[in-house]
Amino acid sequence: MKATSRELRFEPADNKRLANLCGPLDANLRQIEAALDVGITRRGTRVKLTGAAESVERGATLLETFYAQAERPLDLDDVQLGVIDSLNPGIDAEDAPRLMTRRRDLAGRTPNQREYLEKILAHDVTLGVGPAGTGKTYLAVACAVDALERDAVKRIVLVRPAVEAGERLGFLPGDLAQKVDPYLRPLYDALYDLMGMEKVGKMFEKGAIEIAPLAYMRGRTLNHAFIILDEAQNTTPEQMKMFLTRMGFGAKAVVTGDPTQIDLPRGSMSGLIEAQEILRDVRGIAITRFTSDDVVRHPLVGRIVAAYEAHTAKLALTGRSDQADALLRGLQNRSPGRRG
């Protein structure tokens, strides 16, 4: 692709605004470079962008927008979220579902994230499937907190299979909560961010938030609960069926997972992959499939995910099934799911 360049001049000179725009040691400019794959050089009030024409134009628009906001220092979060918003110009924050959490600015940043929120609010069972960093777990927890705050449910139940990511951690000391704590840490982090650590602690004491290892779910009926099954790619088909049939009256369930990161023993079928096929046409169940375009993390994460997906597809085309086996287990079922 032919490279192009464009120069911006921020005049009259405002050194404080320029410093807020660029960040310490031009860290904000480096983030924009990484996110848009452009080169940015600055000399005084002049900034030059080099790269693909579309990326250069998007970068120039971003810099002008950030400069207008630079009365206060801009941190890396401001820059990264601004970049993501610029990649999804059709998203109107005013039309986004409003959730009752501590984060007033919480909203779906991409079309798939917006669709995911709408499906969770409209369906009793929702599957969120896709790569790391797409907000599957965080947005599910946000919806659970919203439902609890509005008294739509009486408790939040957090469930995750205790499967290690390729390592054997051995015996873990403590009571049941302490044993499964390492596996549920991403869910805790989301709760602390959305409710505050002190309030989360009180909710645990009251039983309004409960941790439930998947292995101990059999035989239970969960009424008026918002249930989240995280890392569901590491469930077996039997475990997935068992989990989905725990729902009682007034319950809502969200199942999240990344089929490309299965840690089950080789040859084991993932319950998440099977569930997508079995449940795709069941009324009341919705499926949202995320892609690398939905990643809301460091700009390189989206590229890493896309590179791995391209590599997996290449291995499949060349017939090198032995090398691609673990990766292909997650990519073999990417057909569109039910949207209703």
Tell me what the mean pLDDT of segment 325-335 comes to.
48
**Between these two residues, 140 and 330, which has the higher pLDDT value?**
140
Distance CA 272, CA 263 (A): 13
Backbone torsion region of residue 220, taken as left when φ is above 0, otherwise alpha when ψ lies between -120 and 50, otherwise beta: beta
Q: Is the pLDDT of residue 179 over 80?
A: no
Cα–Cα dist 21/213, whole Å: 46
- Range 61-86 average pLDDT: 86
C-beta separation of 52 from 3 below 8 A: yes
Q: Give yes or no for residue 240 having a pLDDT over 90.
A: yes
Which tokens is 331 given? Answer: 């990519």
What is 141-162 written as a DSSP string? HHHHHHHHHTTS-SEEEEE---
Encode pLDDT of 28-47 as tens digits: 999 899 888 899 999 988 99
Q: pLDDT band for 333, please (50, 70, 90 cuts).
A: very low
Global pTM reads: 0.75
pLDDT at position 335 is 44
Is 311 within 8 Å of 299 (Cβ atoms)? no
Q: What is the DSSP letter of 42?
A: E
- Which tens digit of pLDDT belongs to each residue from 244-267? 999 999 999 999 999 988 888 888
pLDDT at 106: 82
Query: Amino acid identity of 213?
Result: P
Q: Would you say residue 194 has pLDDT above 80? A: yes
Model pLDDT, residue 318: 74
Count helices and strands in the chain by DSSP H and E runs: 12, 9
Per the structure block, which two tokens stand in for 2?
């032919």
What is the tens place of the pLDDT at every residue in 261-302?
Answer: 888 888 889 999 999 999 999 999 999 999 888 888 776 777
Q: Is the pLDDT of residue 334 over 60?
A: no
- Location of structure tokens 């602390």: 192
The whole-number pLDDT of residue 332 equals: 46
Eight-class DSSP state of 39: E
Please state, in angstroms and rounded to a whole number, the distance separating the CA atoms of residues 29 and 83.
Answer: 11
Phi and psi torsions of 159, nearest 5°? -130, 140
Mean residue pLDDT across the chain: 84
pLDDT band at 176 (very low <50, low <70, confident <90, very high): low
| Collapsed DSSP state (helix, strand, coil) of residue 73 | coil
Structure tokens at 123: 């369906």
Residue type, 249: F
Helix (H) or strand (E) holding 17: helix 15-22
For residue 322, pLDDT over 60 is answered with no
Q: Give percent of the chain above pLDDT 90.
A: 47
